[in-house]
Structure 1
Amino acid sequence: MKLTILGGGGFRVPLVYGALLGDRGEGRVTEVVLHDLDAGRLTAVARVLAEQAAAVPDAPVVTATTDLDEALRGADFIFSAIRVGGLEGRANDERVALAEGVLGQETVGAGGIAYGLRTVPVAVDIARRVARLAPDAWVINFTNPAGLVTEAMSRHLGDRVIGICDSPVGLGRRIARVLGANPREAWIDYVGLNHLGWVRGLRVAGRDELPRLLADPELLGSFEEGKLFGVDWLQSLGAIPNEYLHYYYFNREAVRAYQQAEKTRGAFLHDQQARFYDEVGAPGAKALDVWDRTRAEREATYMSENRETAGAGERDADDLSGGYEKVALALMRAIARDERTTLILNVRNRSTLSVLDNDAVIEVPCLVDANGAHPVTVAPLPDHATGLVCAVKAVEREVLAAAESGSRTTAVKAFALHPLVDSVNVARRLVEGYREVHPGLAYLR
């Protein structure tokens, strides 16, 4: 089976390849094609993968190309993990937003809108090429903002594009662990949009164990989300929010922390990964060792500003293990081998959430089999969550409309309607500021 990875020079690719190396089942991936626009990054990542595979018999063969059409032809699965504008673009997203006193995080608020506006046209072009060159392939979308990009691609690929994220998986795993349950045996009642969802129940052997957690302040405050949001707030919600909701519930504190930080997250990663690619390219470098060291630093500093604001301390060691690759491999196995499973995924709503239309991409538990991912019926969200979900989905729709029409006015509307952008004038300045730093937004007129 052939797997194509778009954004194949990206830092996280070795996580995916490491998961593939552990798969010895029938019908496994035997060929991996890396595609990237940057040949130097491709070479560096290929070196890491070669060292990963050194002691593994029959490891998937890896090839690399900068030709997109060549990479797509004959693919059975396509992982889309691109970053339009690179980490410099992410750092600019943060800088422009923070100068206006609003959040610049890459998937939430102004930064997420800017990232979406320059990513959607590229993702749509990829989707059209896939439909033409590999119509039977399944696209698994890693590219952020994951829900928005998946919805853009679904307009051309239908249900053959599925978005994934490791945040819900990690959240469910932490809740199960603190309750003494096996995450593999637990049913996680999770619903929302990508980076905007809530765990409302965790069932083990038919019994919902979440009320027990919410009633125990000591237990509730013992894991990442309890430390991040605070016990009182979680008890008030009666649910455990995705960590990214910290940007909504504690927005002023988050913006202030990012403004005061020595470097934004994007600037930190830009500098860190530049060092990584330089080191790996040096003669005699142990590429895998360099990658492991860099990854540990990257994960340990994840959402550090938010944790500092909340007084949450360092991340637990158990939370430093990634997760994208595990979700992706489980999804691919379920489709390729009809190994039926349940995963939290980004898929078209159909009739799952009555407040959204059928084509809106949401993030919910799905039953997965050879025919793809099928969203499970869920109970309605409470009013406060419904309001956020509907508001953010409306913003995503304006982003898609702006990307399709090239309308600057529609782009302004997208920014202005977001709950974390508090002024139409700020929205106008954001559009101008982003157009100045991103050549990829020149299409907005």
Structure 2
Amino acid sequence: MKQRLFTAVLVMVGSGLSASCWATCYRITGTTTNSTSAYYTEPGKGTAAAWDGMPDQAGSTGSLPTVVNINNTTFQPNGTLLATGIVPMVGNQTYNPEQILFRCQAADVNSLYEYYATNGDSTYGGNVEVGTSYGLPQAYQTYVPGMALRATNMMTGEYYSRYWKARQLTNLDKDSQGWLLVKAKNFSNTKVELFRLSTSAGGWGAADTGIYPQSQPATYMAFKGPGFSSGLSVGADSNSQYDGWYSAWPGGVNLYHRLYIRRSASCVVNNVTPLVVFSTLSVSQLQAGAQSQKPISISFSCQTGGPASTGVTAFTSGVAANQTAMGILVNPANAATATSLGLTSGAGVTWLLSDNYGTDPSVATGVGIQITRTNGTVLNLLRTLSGAVAGGNAAGWYPLLDDATGGQVVNGVTTYSKTLNATLKAIPGQTITAGKVNATAQIIIQVQ
């Protein structure tokens, strides 16, 4: 936790001194209709709302999976990527992209910056770099033994480090008075990677599991402009330099109470049918109920006994906590389209739609793909890997060993195979148009 010392000073100001002599940027926390005010928010130029910035416990994990399983180093060698996701600029609340955070005078155009760094004064939030020896520079220790975090600024492509980096804010919107509007959309998204690294000692015990308990953020994103975060400079150590925290720092990454850690024996995908080609069907055939069905073959290996399962809890197929399930993950854009068409059940979607469905005139509409078990049961598909824990069938998770056939066992690792069916057909209630269908999805095996 960052600590500050405050000195109270009484300053007498003459009536002829304007506020603009003291600062030329203003923090916008609500709608002001007075057009003569420095805090004016012009209708149609953006939104305004209260925001707190990045106090402890604030931040987000974005699309990072909610559950991460830490395995032994035989199954997960050092350097294994455990999870990855994109985190939008989120602080103590989620922003509207058009939300105005700061209003600055036109003369400040070359003085406005996004600064970013790990949480350098936190032992488990960005102080201890542990990845360099494994070829993963700027991966930092977390509270979980064996797990390190690395963050990348998606605009600059640079890794976060405990030493501040900066990106000039350009191409900002303006209001009709010529003021610059620094909006939430002007700040970078952050890519987060979690790695298996024994060099991350952590603060938990080696066998501890559960919800991530340490409240300190992993990264921060700060605004620097006239009147805000003036003490920040490129290369300064965030362990000791945190001017502007927390109200001038709009966002950051924080695992606190947003990530569940498991230590269970599990499985890995060996092979999946890479390409499924359907028979060509005409509009009239589809309208008459014609379908094209093709198999999807999946091979995977599981830690079913020793020595493969040393140091982790026993493998169990299922959808409850600590059990291993399988799901089919739909691309975010396709999931959003399916949701907009009402093609949902529970937290999952029921149809796999073509990429660019509804936006590209060359793509067929009114048709989609359903995935079924060999007994004909239609599977829900995963919209995301983040969100509710152990969401079950409603989210798109199913016991991994459903319909699976076991094979060879070597050193406690059993190889399995299973088949699902993909069926191209008309979507009830939708108008069919001719075109191509090109859909993509991922087979996900994950401890719940």
Q: TM-score range by the shorter chain?
A: under 0.3
If the length of structure 2 is used for normalisation, what is the TM-score? Answer: 0.21
The TM-score normalised by the length of structure 1 is: 0.21
